[in-house]
Amino acid sequence: MHRAAIILSAALALPACSRTDPYADKPAQAPPEVVHAAEARAEKAADRLARALIDELQRATAEGGHAHALQVCRDAAESIRTDVSANERLDIRRTSLRVRNPANAPDAWERATLEAWAEPGVTPAAVSAVVESAGSIELRWMRPIMLIDLCVNCHGPADRLAPGVPEALARFYPYDEATGFSAGDLRGAFSARVPLD
Ligand code: HEC
């Protein structure tokens, strides 16, 4: 993780981000107890978002199979995310190096974190950084999402996708990059911004 930490600090210091864009994140500081409390809030929000997404996935799959569930997830994913964010008073989302929905594409810090986790020999684990963003101090936090068997129905290799899923993907996600995964793969991350002031 030491190496990952170096890569992550480098990503925050990218000159293109800090000098030209007033809304870009800049490295900042906060007392350790404030950081720990914010990390705990992000953990809780990620658990809630994971639970809400899985509940909806299982409900929709029982209702009409995986292709139907895929369509339900497409319609519900964003409102589930914004509901959890509002309830937890932070901003949480999912991201990945290979996205299904282009709106979930990573920013520079998220990309650097995901790339560091994908290095050989690295066991992905939660990371955080205190930043100043548009005049506010925030904790940025990410936790890995690993793929389990259930996910292969919609994110697996072509021959493992559930019936109807390839057609639903072609229709709703023509730019999908999120197939070809196996159980145990790093699929992506929960990523949160927690306000500290
Ligand atoms: C019924 C099909 C289906 C199943 C099963 C499924 N997903 Fe997805 N997944 C989707 C859809 C649809 C999206 C895009 C949602 C959106 O539009 O934001 C998505 C998006 C994601 C994203 C956000 C990044 C991106 O690619 O846009 C992650 C991370 C993710 N899924 C992980 C998982 C994991 C982990 C599992 C297993 C626990 C899983 N998914 C199971 C359909 C599915």
pLDDT digits (tens, 9 = 90+) for 42-57: 999 999 999 999 999 9
Would you say 100 and 178 are in contact if contact means Cβ atoms under 8 Å apart? Answer: yes
pLDDT in tens, 156-187: 999 999 999 999 999 999 999 999 999 999 99
Using the atom order of ligand 1, give the atom closest to the CA of residue 152.
Answer: 5
Asked if residue 181 is part of any domain, the answer here is yes
Tell me what the mean pLDDT of segment 4-19 comes to: 52
Would you say 197 and 136 are in contact if contact means Cβ atoms under 8 Å apart? Answer: yes
- Given ligand 1 and candidates 155, 160, 161, 169, which is best to mutate, with the most ligand atoms within 8 Å of its CB? 155
Tokens of 57: 């996935």
pLDDT of residue 24: 85
Mean pLDDT, rounded, of the chain: 92
pLDDT of residue 1: 44
91 pLDDT higher than 90: yes
Q: What is the dihedral of CA 162, 167, 172, 178, to 10 degrees?
A: 50
Ligand 1 pocket residues where CB is under 6 Å: 57, 66, 69-70, 73-74, 77, 94, 96, 99-101, 104, 145, 147-148, 150-151, 153-155, 178, 187-188
- CA distances for 119 relative to 97, 99, 124, 169, angstroms: 13, 19, 9, 29
Ligand 1 mean position to 104 CA, how many Å? 11
Asked if residue 16 is part of any domain, the answer here is no
Asked if residue 67 is part of any domain, the answer here is yes
Asked if residue 18 is part of any domain, the answer here is no
Structural domain containing residue 41: 2-10+25-195
Tell me what the mean pLDDT of segment 66-82 comes to: 97
15 pLDDT higher than 90: no
Tell me what the mean pLDDT of segment 131-145 comes to: 95
Q: How many CB atoms lie within 10 A of CB 47?
A: 13
10 pLDDT higher than 90: no
Would you say 106 and 122 are in contact if contact means Cβ atoms under 8 Å apart? Answer: no
Domains contained in the chain, number: 1
Whole-prediction pTM: 0.91
Using the atom order of ligand 1, give the atom closest to the CA of residue 187.
Answer: 29
Ligand 1 mean position to 38 CA, how many Å? 26
140 pLDDT higher than 80: yes
Q: Rounded to whole angstroms, how far apart are CA atoms 52 and 88?
A: 13
Would you say 142 and 12 are in contact if contact means Cβ atoms under 8 Å apart? Answer: no
27 pLDDT higher than 50: yes
